[in-house]
């Protein structure tokens, strides 16, 4: 069974045509991989489908805009994967 | 349809919120300034306006499903196909489905048909943007009512 990171990395590679081997757990989706907000919608759609969750993008965006969170907390892939795992766990609890 | 005003939908004839499906009827006008250029002597409904028809059909469904909490902005069109020409006076039917409601965005599919068969189809992406003001939401609600959209009562 693929790890959360492998699934997310494969989604990013396929959606944004980014070489899979350049995507690491420490990659920042925006700053390192150059993914813009529009491409991230496609990634969010694929993640929502793959994990059966709904990434709270509106809440995250609001928190970043209000200075309550940094983009690293949501868009560094290891952090994104941890949040996905949390959402999956909450769904199955 | 009033092409030059981007009023593409004549009326919605089916809205199924459970299945997240919607069906619209749109009759292409026999005359429009747009046909003077597209094309001189051979009037055809522009393909980009067929895309707009699909965007408006599914965009209204996003508004219904989200309770008119924001403006669905078209941000993506994929796999768009224009399968046949459309002449002035043709009655078109558009069938749309919201295939995913994300946080602040929605993904949809839509297809258009005439009595002669398939006309167009596409996958569409919407981002939900804040209304510029309460007056704008009111105007959208009123516009929706005119084409058969049932607007939910605002939360008290």
Give the end-to-end CA distance of chain B in Å, rounded to a whole number: 35
Residue B51 has pLDDT above 80, yes or no: yes
pLDDT score, position B86: 97
Distance from CA of A30 to the nearest CA of B (A): 19
DSSP B104: S
pLDDT of B3-21, one tens digit each?
A: 999 999 999 999 999 999 9
Q: How far apart are CA B59 and CA B76, in angstroms?
A: 12
Contacts of A48 in chain B (CB under 8 A): 100, 102
Token output for B145 = 């009512």
Asked whether the beta carbons of A59 and B103 are under 8 A apart, the reply is: yes
Q: Does A3 touch chain B (CB under 8 A)?
A: no
pLDDT of B99-152, one tens digit each?
A: 999 999 999 999 999 999 999 999 999 999 999 999 999 999 999 999 999 776
Q: Check B102 against A42: CB less than 8 A apart.
A: no
Token output for B35 = 């046909």
Based on its alpha-carbon atoms, the radius of gyration of chain A, rounded to whole angstroms, reads 13
Ranges assigned E (strand) in chain B:
11-16, 21-27, 71-82, 91-101, 105-114, 117-129
Q: Is the ipTM of this complex over 0.95?
A: no
Q: Which of B23, B32, B34, B38 is catalytic?
A: B38
Compute how many other C-beta atoms are within 10 angstroms of the C-beta atom of residue B139.
12
pTM, entire model: 0.92
pLDDT of A4-17, one tens digit each?
A: 999 999 999 999 99
pLDDT score, position B154: 58
pLDDT score, position B151: 74
pLDDT score, position B132: 95
Q: How many domains does chain A fold into?
A: 1
pLDDT of A15-54, one tens digit each?
A: 999 999 999 999 999 999 999 989 999 999 999 999 999 9
pLDDT score, position B43: 97
Q: How far apart are CA A87 and CA A85, in angstroms?
A: 5
pLDDT of B58-86, one tens digit each?
A: 999 999 999 999 999 999 999 999 999 99
Omega within 30 of 0 (cis) for the link into B39:
yes
Sign of CA dihedral A25, A26, A28, A33: negative
Looking at chain A, list the stretches that DSSP marks H as alpha helix, in order from N- to C-terminal side: 4-16, 37-51, 57-65, 71-75, 77-92
Between helix A37-51 and helix A4-16 the angle, nearest 10°, is 140
Contacts of B88 (CB under 8 A, 6+ apart): B28, B29, B30, B31, B32, B35, B43, B45
pLDDT score, position A69: 95
Where does residue A69 rank: exposed (0-12), middle (13-18), buried (19+ CB within 10 A)?
middle
Question: Beta partners for B120?
Answer: B82, B112
Q: Does A48 touch chain B (CB under 8 A)?
A: yes
What is the third-level CATH fold of B3-146? Thiol Ester Dehydrase; Chain A (3.10.129)
Contacts of B125 in chain A (CB under 8 A): 41-42, 45
Among A38, A42, A54, select the one facing B103 at the smallest CB separation: A54
CATH number of the domain at A72, please: 1.10.1200.10
B100 among known catalytic residues: no
């Amino acid at each position: 069974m693929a790890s959360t990171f492998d699934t997310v990395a494969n989604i990013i590679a396929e959606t944004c045509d980014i070489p899979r081997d350049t995507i690491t757990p420490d990659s920042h989706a925006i700053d390192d991989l150059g993914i813009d907000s529009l491409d991230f919608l496609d990634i969010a759609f694929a993640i929502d489908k793959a994990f059966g969750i709904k990434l709270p993008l509106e809440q995250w965006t609001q928190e970043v805009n209000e200075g309550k969170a940094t983009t690293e907390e949501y868009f560094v892939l290891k952090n994104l994967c941890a949040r996905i795992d949390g959402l999956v766990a909450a769904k199955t609890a | 349809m009033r092409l030059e005003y981007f009023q593409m939908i004549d009326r919605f004839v089916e809205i199924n919120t459970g299945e997240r499906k919607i069906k619209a009827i749109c009759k292409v006008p026999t005359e429009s300034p747009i046909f003077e250029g597209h094309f001189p002597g051979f009037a055809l409904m522009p393909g980009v306006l067929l895309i707009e028809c699909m965007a408006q059909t599914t965009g209204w469904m996003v508004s219904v499903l989200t309770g008119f909490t924001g403006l669905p902005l078209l941000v993506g069109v994929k796999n768009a196909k224009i399968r046949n020409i459309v002449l002035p006076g043709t009655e078109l039917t558009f069938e749309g489905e919201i295939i995913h409601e994300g946080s602040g965005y929605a993904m949809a599919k839509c297809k258009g048909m005439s009595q002669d068969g398939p006309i167009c189809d596409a996958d569409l992406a919407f981002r939900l943007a804040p209304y510029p003001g309460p007056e704008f939401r009111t105007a959208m609600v009123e516009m929706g009512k005119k084409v058969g959209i049932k607007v939910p009562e605002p939360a008290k």
